[in-house]
A and B are shown apart, each in its own frame.
Chain A
Amino acid sequence: MLQIANLTKHYGQSQKGITDLTLQVMPGDIFAFIGHNGAGKTTALKCVSGIHGFDEGEILVDGISMNDNPMECKRRFAYIPDNPDLYEYLTGIQYLNFVADVFQISAREREERIAAFAADFEITGALGDLISSYSHGMKQKLAIISALIHEPKLLILDEPFVGLDPKAAVILKNKMRDVCASGGAVFFSTHVLDVAEKLCNKVAIIKDGRMVITGDMNLIVKEGQSLEDIFMEVACDAERG
């Protein structure tokens, strides 16, 4: 579903960014992307979602090159940033309608999907209000609905649980599982290691822009260990090494 090969992206002359990142997200995967603050997670996600260009490497979404055919790639995924800066001058429903227009979803389908997702996340009543009046959590819910509206094959999420209330977090986890059950995949960054351990079947840990470990969750986290133990171990090893 998503192949990242030798991805390198640096900001100007600085060493900040990512170097030679390689990973693969298969259909059905819920893939956790973990690292310290400033490790390069957001940079990698922004390269994958076409927001940033990159210096070297290749990104394939469903076998299509991000460099050669970004429009086709973007039709297949949805991205939600760590901070949901949405068009504050639109109402919630206008924003969802805007996204539905971009993906050319028929009027009937968008009405059905918006009604269902908005009911799930309990924000139907607020959809007529300006986004500027929303709390952080409500904006996050709206961003999630807008990401699900075109039934993407790949969900790319940057810290998706921040600001969500416990019920919304459970609903989001279920939606992530639904995407995977229908043959799609989810690639997301998080600092909540407990959630990653329970929810994901694959994990990658990066430090200072370089991959330090990646693979199946159950192979990396052995019996009697937690993802937190592995993260601390790997992070400290990388610091020593």
Chain B
Amino acid sequence: MLREVKILAKLSLANIYGLNTFRYSKDKKEKNRKRLLICAYVFLLLTAVLYVSALSIGLCTLGLSKILPAYLVGISSLIMVFFGFFKAGPVLFEKKGLDILKSLPVSETHIVISRFIRLYVENLFLGIIVLMPGVIVYGYMVKPGAEFYLVGFAAALFIPIIPLVIATFAGGLITYIASKVRHKSIISTILSLILVVCIFAGTSMISRVEGQLNDEMLQDMALIIEDVFSKVYPPALWMGNAMIGKGAADCLLCFFVSILIMTLTVWVVSRKFDEIVDGLSRSYSRGDYEIQSLESSSVLGTLYKKELKRYLASSIYVTNTIIGPVLGVVMSAAILIGGVDTFISDVPLPFDIEGVIPFVLAATFCMMPTTCTSISMEGKEWWIVKSLPISSKTVLDSKILFNLSLSLPMLMVAQCLMIIAFKPAGASLVWMILIPVLMLVFSCVWGIAVNLKIPVFNWENEVTVVKQSASAAIGGLGGAAIAIVLALISAFVPDELDTAVKAGICIVVAILTTMLYIRNNKVDLKTL
């Protein structure tokens, strides 16, 4: 049993984060793409380290150091659930190469355990990124004994297990339901979106509890956070407390429970493995088609229709790219329903909130445009477009057009809600309409530019493109990051310069978009 699992796990881990491809590929372009991806990962890692370090220093300075370990365990677990949810189904029930594996003398349980080991290692890595800076800050500021580090090390090994089980059941359940129906992608997308919105709603509820705290309640804050954790995710509290020398029994119980539920999960998944894999690969064919009248379209029109069908065929593609616009609309509706005054009192900021709302809207709608992965999503079918008489401009226009047709109507709804809520007049009304639209167009063109530079076509699983490619990281977050930077610039500009600065921003964004668009269209697709 152990020997088989060891061999399969080695195979499963061989190309984790594309390391094997990077090591052995002789393709210079491929190597450069991987280098860029590593740079993007390092950037995200540094951002995470900075964020966790600042949070840890803040909590220690406020005298809340005793809650810090539990807080770190809680945050890392939440991140693991979020990322694991998207990966669990595709990794566990990956069909590619399964036929060869199943012809070898290994059981479903061996395969399932090896795939869980891969997910565990990825979660462990995520956990270390979050825990390590916090542990260093805690160690430096509180100076705990060796027990803290020993328990912390043990906890780090066990932290990934429960989030992995939660993600497996959430992701696996959606995969299981999808495997039973004909329209797998649509069902999977709807269920995934519901779950993601629930996670966001849940986390915003937790932060609301903290947001309502005032100075007088500071001394009770630790108790309140403990209360939130005990209700939402008790294992974070048990492990966190054990690290600071409290409740070792709870922690041991937590370790034991982790192993038990992991074993049960492996057992359940192994039993359902064949059924789910077969269900996912089952195709529904009728075989009774008769030639009917066919509609003709323009080249751009037919490419647009193809983009739409490609989009709707992938639940992870939809979930990843629609979440920004959905959150934008939900946020606008929440502000309208809750009232602007409540919103302003909930988010006390040292500047006029109305002035930065256009940029906030832009940031949500620029988050993860479809264009930053739409070229890569062509995958092994990229030869079709390249061998047909279609110009680069038409191909890229269809991708931009699709992105705009997806996001623009939702942006207009969000803008209407914001306009009703804030009632801007004059120039403010113009900025509320113009800035998000310009930024949205920019993010679409920017996404194409990045994806043209670093496309990935030889992927086996859509997760590789949508979640793990350099293009998704740089192209997806670039537009939102620029919107946030512009929001900060706009926030601290004196009132008398506000109109000039915003007009300047609009002109610069429009010029940059046009220049990028012209440059994109000059790229010869056969060089990709």
Contacts and interface: CB of A to CB of B under 8 A. Distances in A.
B99 interface: no
Given A93-B294, A128-B289, A87 B310 contact: yes
Interface stretch (B138-146, B332-340, B382-390, B494-502): B382-390
Interface stretch (B297-305, B354-362, B510-518): B297-305
B290 interface: yes
A98 B288 contact: no
A109 to B, nearest CB: 10
Contact of B526 (A53, A79, A86, A100): A53
| Residue in B29, B294, B386 whose Cβ sees the most chain A Cβ within 10 Å | B294
A65 interface: no
A75 B29 CA distance: 30
B24 interface: no
A74 B525 CA distance: 14
A87 B384 contact: yes
Contacts of A128: 286, 288-289
A2 interface: no
Contact of A129 (B29, B285, B381): B285
| Residue in B310, B384, B526 whose Cβ sees the most chain A Cβ within 10 Å | B384
Given A12-B28, A110-B296, A126 B526 contact: no
Contacts, number: 123
Contacts of A51: 383, 386-387, 526
Nearest to A106: B296
Contact of B389 (A71, A111, A125): A71
B389 A102 contact: yes
B309 A90 contact: yes
Nearest to A14: B26
Given A102-B389, A107-B295, A124 B290 contact: yes
Interface in A70-94: 70-72, 74-75, 79, 81, 83, 85-90, 92-94
B387 A71 contact: no
Contact of B296 (A75, A88, A107, A125): A107
B305 to A, nearest CB: 8
Contacts of B295: 97, 107
A30 interface: no
A21 B160 CA distance: 57
Interface in A119-176: 124-130, 132-133
Given A53-B524, A124-B291, A133-B284, A101 B391 contact: no
Contacts of A110: 294, 296
B294 A100 contact: yes
A94 B306 CA distance: 9
A47 B379 CA distance: 19
Contacts of A12: 26-29
A13 B28 CA distance: 9
Interface bracket on A: 35 or more
B293 interface: yes
B426 interface: no
Interface in B17-60: 26-29
A101 B302 contact: yes
A143 to B, nearest CB: 9
Contacts of B285: 126, 129-130, 133
B13 to A, nearest CB: 28
Given A71-B389, A98-B306, A100-B296, A132 B283 contact: yes
Given A51-B526, A125-B289, A71 B391 contact: yes
Contacts of A75: 389
B370 to A, nearest CB: 15
Contacts of B288: 125, 128
A193 to B, nearest CB: 26
A110 B292 CA distance: 11
B380 interface: yes
B526 A127 contact: no
Contacts of B312: 89
| Residue in A51, A106, A110, A111 whose Cβ sees the most chain B Cβ within 10 Å | A51
A50 B387 contact: yes
B313 interface: yes
Interface string A1-38: 00000000001111000000000000000000000000
Contacts of A192: none
B28 A102 contact: no
A74 B389 contact: yes
B105 interface: no
A122 to B, nearest CB: 11
Nearest to B389: A74
A114 B293 CA distance: 11
Contacts of B301: 101
A89 B524 CA distance: 26
Contacts of B27: 11-12
A86 B260 CA distance: 45
B212 interface: no
B271 to A, nearest CB: 27
A85 B289 contact: no
A74 B387 contact: yes
Contacts of B348: none
B350 interface: no
B527 interface: yes
B293 A107 contact: yes
A101 B299 contact: yes
A79 B387 contact: yes
A104 interface: yes
B388 A99 contact: yes
A210 B386 CA distance: 25
B132 to A, nearest CB: 38
B44 to A, nearest CB: 29
Contact of B527 (A53, A101, A129): A53
B389 A103 contact: yes
Contacts of B97: none
B384 A126 contact: no
Contacts of B297: 101
Given A51-B383, A93-B289, A128-B286, A101 B298 contact: yes
11 contacts: A12-B27, A49-B387, A50-B386, A86-B384, A93-B291, A94-B309, A100-B294, A102-B388, A110-B294, A126-B287, A128-B288
Given A85-B380, A90-B309, A106-B296, 8 more contacts: A79-B387, A99-B388, A101-B298, A105-B296, A115-B291, A125-B289, A128-B289, A129-B287
List the 9 shortest-distance A-B pairs measured between CB atoms, nearest first.
A128-B289, A133-B283, A89-B313, A101-B302, A74-B389, A129-B285, A85-B380, A133-B285, A125-B287
